[in-house]
Amino acid sequence: MIPHYFDWAATSPMSDRSLDIYVETAKTYRGNPSSLHKDGKDAARFLQQERQKTARLLGASPRQIVYTGGATESNAIVCNSLLWRRSPGRIIISAIEHDSILQYRHLFESKGFDVVFVPAPGGYVTPGDIAEKLTENTNMVCVMLVNNVLGTVQDIKGIAHAIRTFQATTGRPIHFHCDAVQGIGKMTVDVSQLDIDSASFSAHKFQGPRGTGILYQRGETLQPLSRGGGQELGLRAGTEPIAAIAAMNAALEDTLSNLEDRIAHANHLRRVFEQELAPFDTIALVSPSSDGSGGIVPNICTIAAEGIPSEVFTRILFDIGFCVSSGSACSNNTPKKGETLLAACQVSPAKASSAIRVSFGHDTTEDEIKLLAQTIGKESQSMGRLTRRR
Ligand code: PLP
């Protein structure tokens, strides 16, 4: 039996078109875009067309698009760039960022930066919370667009406004970085409307290939992470994986061309999921409810069956035929990471230790989500009876 897949926020299956484009491009363009012969020039021309496409789809200009090996690398280029500052200042990071940002804390501190974490009660960082922490020596603010565990959407425009207002009083620029990985295909993302300095994207979150991503950057103040051939505006040296880039663009194009339908479908599935779970008092919603006032993406929903450890419940569900995630799959190698993130959102330790993330995609069906909800409800009841009997 093939398990029902409810772990799209960890990674999504490559779409058929993305796979086809990968193969077609790899076969058609054998040259290295840096080579001077015809095959190289053809590849360079193709790459330029793809860059224009990416830029158009994200609301950027081609010079602002840097292809990377994924969002971890995009985040790393931005964070590493800060380390070159002669006089380290303050770095403000939301406490619910992905580990690829949070783990820079010690490096920043070892270089003399003052790292300040902003908590996110209920999963939200507010412009006011950020404004309170801004100082004249602030170098960077990092707030993600959509949290990968709770699905909460952050007020990036509001935060940018707070930063720019403060910046105007000091005349010193503050780099605003946004990890936008979980937003693509779930909401409109137009970088030109966000007033951010950089943003990270990852192809495998929207049915493109793994190991491919985008760094949007404006202002060109960043430093290279890798050095060599000077590719990607000199920020990411290394031969460009044009087949993967074309496959990513195909996936991006498909996702965005059906965006409204996809959002409507996801909203419907989310409501069904919550309705089906409602009769089970053994299950609590950890993510904000879909009828609440805070912004959420519908396709990520974390729930908790208190008293049943996440890892145990995840395993039980897998044995029955469902792939879900205990907290965030991206952090499963870091013990308790999911729990730390949820603590920053003021989720109780009991709920955090039993949190399960359900995330779905555009081809998930209503029957599948009903079956998952029923199974979660019934299993939590029988597990609850067992633990009470001990
Ligand atoms: N940022 C967020 C919010 C994520 O959910 C992930 C997921 O893994 C990443 C960054 C890392 O992305 P990648 O796997 O492309 O390195």
Reference 50, options 71, 70, 31, 65; nearest CA is 65
Whole-angstrom distance, CA of residue 372 vs CA of residue 192: 39
Within 10 angstroms of residue 86's Cβ, the number of other Cβ atoms is: 4
Contact 9, 205 (CB under 8 A): yes
The average pLDDT across 213-233 equals: 90
Whole-angstrom distance, CA of residue 224 vs CA of residue 222: 7
pTM score, whole prediction? 0.95
Pocket test for ligand 1, best of 148, 215, 225, 337 (most atoms within 8 A of CB): 148
Q: Per-residue pLDDT tens for 116-153?
A: 999 999 999 999 999 999 999 999 999 999 999 999 99
CA distances to 117, 330, 357 from 7, in Å: 28, 11, 8
Tell how strand 300-304 and strand 4-5 pair up.
Answer: unpaired
Atom 12 in ligand 1: residue holding the nearest Cα:
71
Whole-angstrom distance, CA of residue 179 vs CA of residue 234: 21
Q: Per-residue pLDDT tens for 45-97?
A: 999 999 999 999 999 999 999 999 999 999 999 999 999 998 999 999 999 99
Q: How big is the CA angle at 274 (ends 289 and 299), to the nearest 5 degrees?
A: 70
CA distances to 37, 110, 388 from 385, in Å: 71, 50, 5
With a pLDDT cut of 70, the percent of the chain lying above it is 95
373: amino acid identity, one letter: A
CATH 3.20.20.70, applies to 4-13+259-384: no
The lowest-confidence range among 74-78, 160-164, 309-313 is: 309-313
Ligand 1 centroid–CA 72 distance in Å is 6
Neighbour-count burial for 348-372, b at 16+ CB within 10 Å, e otherwise: eeebbbbbbbbbbbbebeeebbebb
Contact 102, 72 (CB under 8 A): no
Within 10 angstroms of residue 110's Cβ, the number of other Cβ atoms is: 9
Ligand 1 centroid–CA 170 distance in Å is 33
Reference 75, options 91, 99, 106; nearest CA is 99
- pLDDT for the residue numbered 338: 64
The two tokens of residue 69 are 């090996």
- pLDDT for the residue numbered 221: 80
Does residue 144 line the site of ligand 1, with CB under 6 A? yes
Q: Name the residue ranges covered by the structural domains of the chain.
A: 4-13+259-384, 16-256
Question: Does residue 337 have a pLDDT over 70?
Answer: no
Contact 298, 267 (CB under 8 A): yes
Q: What is the CATH number of domain 16-256?
A: 3.40.640.10
Contact 46, 31 (CB under 8 A): no
Cα distance from N-terminal residue to C-terminal residue, the chain: 33
Pocket test for ligand 1, best of 98, 149, 198, 210 (most atoms within 8 A of CB): 98
* Residue 57, helix vs strand vs coil: helix
Using the atom order of ligand 1, give the atom closest to the CA of residue 73: 16
- Dihedral over Cα of 3, 252, 21, 69: its sign: negative
- Average pLDDT across the chain, whole number: 93
Whole-angstrom distance, CA of residue 136 vs CA of residue 50: 40
- pLDDT for the residue numbered 340: 79
The two tokens of residue 111 are 């270089």
Reference 263, options 360, 356, 194; nearest CA is 360
- Dihedral over Cα of 68, 49, 27, 184: its sign: positive
Contact 308, 323 (CB under 8 A): no
* Residue 115, helix vs strand vs coil: strand
Catalytic positions, please? Answer: 330
> In the 8-state DSSP scheme, what is residue 364?
-
Within 10 angstroms of residue 48's Cβ, the number of other Cβ atoms is: 12
Does residue 70 line the site of ligand 1, with CB under 6 A? yes
Contact 335, 363 (CB under 8 A): no
